[in-house]
Structure formats: C-alpha cells, structure tokens
Amino acid sequence: MSIKILHIDSNNPILWQQLEDAGFENHADFKSSKEEIEAKIQDYNGIIIRSRFKIDKTFLDKATNLKFIARVGAGLESIDCEYATSKGIHLIAAPEGNRNAVAEHSLGVILSLFNNLNQADAEIKAGHWNRESNRGHELDGKTVGIIGYGNMGKAFAKKLRGFEVDVIFHDILENIGDENARQVSLQELQQKSDVLSLHLPWTPETDKMVNANFIAAFAKPFWIVNTSRGKNIVTADLVEAMKTKKILGAGLDVLEYEKLSFETLFQDKNTPEAFQYLMEAKNVLLTPHIAGWTFESHERLAQVIVDKIKAVYSK
C-alpha cells in the first residue's frame, strides 16, 4: 500500500517531485481551513507543513492513520509533540536546511548595527553626509555570547572564526563545546558578553526569557540579535533597556507580535507602543522572519525533509 502524504503548505517543487519519484502519493491542500483538513486527515499517512496552523490534540485524534508529520523548517513548536509521540507519530524537522542562512544573516545584522550601515544609507539617500554620527565599532576584540548551541548556534559560531572575537555559549545540554565556541554558565555569559545572539526554540522555558531581570544581569551594555523566536523576548523590557542604553542596538528578525504562521505580524490592528519605538529607533534593524529564508535554504530545507522521509519509509 502506498503512503499518502498531504501537503498543506507550498514548498520547493523538488520535495513533491522526489517523493513522487520514490513512490509516495502526494496530495495538496493549501487553502482549506484546519477544520476542513481535520475532516479528511484520516485518509493520510503523512502530512507536510510549514506553519499554517497548529497541529493540536483535536487534529491528532482525527489523524488515525498518520505515521509522520514533517515540518519544512527548524522548529516543531506548532505541533503538540508530546501527544503526537504518544500516538506513535514520527516527527521530522529540518534545522540542517537553513542553519547556514541563519548564521550568515546573524553576522550581517551585527556588522550592520556596529557600522550604522542602514542609518548611513538612509541619510545619504535623504541628502545628508554625516560622518561623525555614523562612526562605527569593530567586532574584533569583543565577546560574542550565544544562547542555544544547536544547529543554528553552531553555524553562527563557525562564521565568527574569521574575526578576533571570543565566542562563548550557554545551552541546557552539557559538554557540547567545540573548536568554535566555549561553553559557559549563563552567569558567565552575562558577565562577559558584548553581543548576545539567540538561537533558541520557543518552549515554556524560553518563553519571555529575555526580560528586565535577564537584561539587568548583564555586566556591560550589549547588542542583541534574535533570529530564533519573537516570544523569547519581552519587547517592552527590551525597549526600556534601549532607552537606558543598557542595550546598545538590536537586530530582530522575529517579533513577539508574530502570528504562529509567521506570515503576518500583529494579532490585531493596533501597533504596540514598544514596537512603535523599534520602528523609529536608528539603532534597531528589523527584518520579517527571513534569516533562514534564502533561495538556497528553500531548496535545502525541502531536500532534508525528502531525505529524512525516504530514510524511514521508502520501500
């Protein structure tokens, strides 16, 4: 019996084609509501998603023949992983697919913030030639602290090897340091870091982790880059720290206000006061959740998912 797969988000066409070539039966539904898909999910053995809606207990209870859920992305926070696993459903993600993209983006953000590149560009285009106010900082000699040393954190540390920087990291797993970064306690990271880069999943433990108390524990003013998940930072507390210059600049590819799908920003039509500050601040660089969203990673993510599905289910 062939394995029937339902694709509920569009992805690179190699995913569909290679699964078809391997003997899987592909079906697509990019428009139906969650409830409409729940009504037919019992007909499928696999589902491939990005982040259109949450795969919760209600959905999983109706998916009586589901063998696997594959997410074309790094995280699995849109899935009730514990319940899915308890039902024998195999979970597949692809953090290997966009780790290089995230690492390059993170480095680019830091260099832009340090050298006022976006501000200087905007001023030149507005007819202003301001050299002194755009005097920058050099990355050499700084300490870069990474929180989360999985695929993304390790890839970012590797990119920093070309700079004379001390790279340290904190992670809940022990003894995972390598030639690119040294593992330290959270307290040591907060004492030494000039730059903080977040490479974390969104979990109950990391939700609102970067708050006023967390920021106050840093010994020095610092720059912060977040390419992980927006809800790992309390935006209002971040803004207060920027006003006091405890945080010198922020590069945010993800925002607390994003919807789960990552396709739109606000939950309602009101612009939060803290976000209004971020939009107007010269030392803030905002991007729309694109750190891992390159042309190359678009293909690589699909390929990783294909390879993992075939490794387990190919006949």
229 tagged catalytic? yes
Q: Is 50 a catalytic residue?
A: no
Catalytic pick among 52, 229, 256, 300: 229
The active-site residue out of 38, 104, 256, 258 is 258
Instruction: Please give the structure tokens belonging to residue 276.
Output: 């209004």
Which residues are CB-contacts of 113 (< 8 A; sequence separation ≥ 6)?
223, 225, 249, 250, 251, 283, 285
Reported in sequence order, the residue ranges of the chain that DSSP labels E, i.e. its strands, are 4-7, 25-28, 46-49, 68-71, 90-92, 143-147, 166-170, 182-183, 195-198, 222-226, 247-252, 284-286
User: Is 174 noted as a catalytic residue in this protein?
Assistant: no
DSSP 72: S
Task: Name the catalytic one among 7, 170, 289, 300.
Answer: 289
Q: CB-based contacts of 160: which residues, under 8 Å, 6+ apart? A: 107, 144, 167, 180
Residues in a beta bridge with 226: 198, 252
Using only C-alpha atoms, what is the Rg of the chain? 21
Token digits for 22? 């391997």
Catalytic residues: 229, 258, 289
